[in-house]
């Protein structure tokens, strides 16, 4: 990736005093523009589609459209890196990562919603930073979506639990993070990260014994700016991530540990999977030989009930929860409500300007199905098929070092009660692309990427 180094002091733009103040700082601008022309189909293939009623093979219930063509952004971004030498090998560092939806600028993305932070760096002891950062979910040793369609990422399987309905580590940046990275010791590095409030959609305020939000704590679905502890009787949230890595020559090995507790789990709707505590372990690695790369990723993720008061007394539909709903949700506090293993095998081959990437991924049945009384919101029924399989392939042609084209195919086959979907299919694709239980999404696309 070619980067352009710009002096912050631009002639004529500042007075002499500001020029002196910024004389030792530099700004590096980089990023890429990336978009995909997509054809997506959602079929039930004769299975059940959410309601338990068999859908016609190859179609959806009630005559709904099962396919669409669309233009989707692939997380385009402009990144500003700032560095100032402080002397003695110490540097001040900062990054502003601006995500832009180039196909629909009115989509409402926050202006700096990418990895954005500030901190200190030293060659001798590493770097410590604070801000907003990707943690845990993206480690999979697959390079398919570097230039291919983002929807085809194996994160679609690896970064979701609860039958596919709940993201692990947000499946995006974690807010309110302080993180430390060691220098490289012969290829070995370690990241240690702590978040004061890890959820991107938290709830604040007081909760009474009936599980109903009171006063300032009306559930709004917006994330707390930092923590939601002062003035609340709710549990404090936090998250930890430990991520040792080894990368030396053709070999890459890594492990990532993630544990998270949300601020005020009772502020979420009764039985909400988003309110649950998370524990996840990820092992991954790859080996490159000539133009071939062979990889493997394995993930074990658990969801643990945390609504000691039974939630806020509402259901996800907006209806008022029954006394049984609240009682069952409260009784499940501390119980393992989701426990699934998943794995992915990525393979790639490069020759000249050509690249081929494939991966086969699988989420196994949830081992915790039936741990909660039937009918409890967010519970998985005993015997439910929550497994899923995913295959994706991408042929990529590099027009230059910065510009590429990619032809992509991906398909997910969901079990009867699984809802795994393509990564960012609704957030960067279209809101109507959500799948119902048992439906299978399929994708063909052409991706254009230009990096700078």
For 162-202, what is each residue's pLDDT tens digit? 999 999 999 999 999 999 999 999 999 999 999 999 987 66
43, 161, 243, 293, 385 from 435: Cα distances, Å: 9, 15, 32, 32, 16
In this prediction, residue 195 carries a pLDDT of 96
Q: Which two tokens stand for residue 28?
A: 């590096």
What's the chain's Rg over C-alpha atoms? Answer: 23
Q: At residue 400, does pLDDT exceed 50?
A: yes
Q: At residue 56, does pLDDT exceed 90?
A: no
CA-CA distance, 60 to 441, in Å (whole number)? 12
> pLDDT grade, residue 225 (50/70/90)?
low
In this prediction, residue 3 carries a pLDDT of 46
Contact 272, 257 (CB under 8 A): no
> pLDDT grade, residue 431 (50/70/90)?
confident
Q: At residue 283, does pLDDT exceed 60?
A: yes
The mean of the pLDDT values for the chain is 85
> pLDDT grade, residue 384 (50/70/90)?
confident
Q: What angle do CA 405, 407, 411 make, to 5 degrees?
A: 145
Please compute the mean of the pLDDT values over residues 85-93 and round it to a whole number: 96
In this prediction, residue 227 carries a pLDDT of 72
Q: 């399989």: which residue's tokens?
A: 389
Residue 44, phi then psi, degrees to nearest 5: -95, -15
In this prediction, residue 208 carries a pLDDT of 53
The answer to which of 168-182, 293-307, 324-338 has the lowest mean pLDDT is 324-338
Please compute the mean of the pLDDT values over residues 304-323 and round it to a whole number: 86
> pLDDT grade, residue 368 (50/70/90)?
confident
Please compute the mean of the pLDDT values over residues 415-419 and round it to a whole number: 93
CA-CA distance, 278 to 136, in Å (whole number)? 12
CA-CA distance, 288 to 249, in Å (whole number)? 8
Please compute the mean of the pLDDT values over residues 252-257 and round it to a whole number: 98
> pLDDT grade, residue 16 (50/70/90)?
very low
CA-CA distance, 72 to 428, in Å (whole number)? 6
* Domains in the chain: boundaries: 119-451
Please compute the mean of the pLDDT values over residues 153-167 and round it to a whole number: 95
Q: At residue 420, does pLDDT exceed 80?
A: yes
Please compute the mean of the pLDDT values over residues 423-433 and round it to a whole number: 84
As a CATH number, domain 119-451 is 2.40.160.10
**Per mean pLDDT, which of 4-13, 47-56, 382-391 is the most reliable?**
382-391
CA-CA distance, 13 to 4, in Å (whole number)? 19
CA-CA distance, 313 to 322, in Å (whole number)? 8
Contact 449, 33 (CB under 8 A): yes
CA-CA distance, 193 to 176, in Å (whole number)? 10
Please compute the mean of the pLDDT values over residues 330-344 and round it to a whole number: 93
CA-CA distance, 322 to 320, in Å (whole number)? 6
Q: Which two tokens stand for residue 47?
A: 């299975």
Length of the chain: 452
> pLDDT grade, residue 428 (50/70/90)?
confident
Is 158 buried (19+), middle (13-18) or exposed (0-12) by CB count in 10 A?
A: buried
Q: What angle do CA 16, 20, 23 make, to 5 degrees?
A: 130
Q: At residue 5, does pLDDT exceed 70?
A: no
Residue 267, phi then psi, degrees to nearest 5: -80, -10
Specify the pTM. Answer: 0.87
> pLDDT grade, residue 60 (50/70/90)?
low
Please compute the mean of the pLDDT values over residues 151-156 and round it to a whole number: 98
In this prediction, residue 229 carries a pLDDT of 72
Annotate 144-157 with DSSP letters as a single string. HHHHS-GGG-THHH
Q: Which helix (H) or strand (E) holds 214?
A: strand 213-214
**Per mean pLDDT, which of 60-74, 202-216, 347-361 is the most reliable?**
347-361
CA-CA distance, 69 to 71, in Å (whole number)? 7
């Amino acid at each position: 990736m070619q980067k352009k180094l710009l002096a912050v002091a631009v002639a004529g733009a500042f007075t002499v005093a500001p020029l002196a103040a910024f004389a030792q700082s530099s700004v590096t601008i980089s990023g890429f523009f990336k978009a995909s022309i997509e054809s997506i189909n959602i079929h039930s293939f004769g299975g059940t589609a959410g309601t338990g009623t068999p859908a016609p093979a190859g179609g959806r219930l009630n005559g709904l459209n099962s396919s669409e063509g669309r233009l989707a952004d692939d997380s385009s971004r402009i990144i500003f890196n700032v560095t100032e030498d402080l002397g003695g090998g110490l540097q001040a560092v900062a990054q502003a990562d601006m995500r832009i939806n180039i196909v629909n600028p009115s989509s409402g993305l926050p202006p700096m919603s990418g990895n954005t932070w500030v901190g200190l760096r030293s060659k001798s002891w590493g770097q410590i930073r604070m801000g907003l950062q990707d943690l845990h979910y993206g480690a999979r040793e697959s390079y398919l979506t570097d230039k291919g369609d983002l929807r085809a990422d194996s994160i679609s399987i690896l970064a979701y639990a609860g039958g596919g309905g709940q993201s692990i580590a947000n499946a995006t940046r974690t807010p309110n993070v302080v993180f430390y990275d060691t220098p490289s010791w012969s290829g070995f590095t370690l990241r240690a990260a702590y978040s004061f409030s890890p959820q991107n959609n938290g709830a604040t305020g007081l909760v009474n014994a009936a599980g109903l939000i009171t006063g300032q704590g009306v559930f709004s679905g917006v994330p707390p700016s930092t923590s939601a502890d002062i003035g609340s009787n709710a549990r404090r949230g936090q998250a930890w991530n430990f991520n040792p890595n080894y990368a030396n020559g053709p070999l890459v090995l890594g492990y990532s540990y993630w544990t998270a507790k949300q601020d005020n789990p009772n502020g979420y709707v009764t039985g909400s999977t988003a309110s649950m505590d998370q524990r996840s372990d990820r092992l991954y690695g790859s080996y490159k030989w000539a133009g071939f790369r062979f990889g493997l990723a394995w993930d074990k993720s658990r969801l643990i009930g945390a609504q000691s008061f039974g939630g806020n007394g509402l259901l996800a539909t907006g209806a008022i929860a029954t006394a049984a709903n609240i009682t069952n949700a409260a009784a499940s506090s501390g119980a393992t409500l989701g426990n699934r293993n998943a794995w992915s095998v990525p393979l790639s081959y490069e020759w000249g300007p050509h690249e081929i990437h494939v991966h086969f991924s699988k989420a196994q049945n949830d081992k915790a199905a039936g741990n909660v009384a039937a009918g409890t919101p967010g519970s998985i029924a005993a015997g439910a098929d929550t497994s899923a399989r995913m295959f994706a392939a991408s042929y990529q042609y590099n027009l230059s070092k910065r510009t590429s084209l990619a032809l992509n195919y991906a398909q997910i086959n969901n079990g009867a009660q699984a809802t795994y979907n393509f990564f960012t299919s609704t957030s960067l694709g279209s809101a109507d692309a959500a799948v119902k239980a048992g439906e299978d999404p399929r994708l063909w696309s052409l991706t254009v990427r230009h990096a700078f």
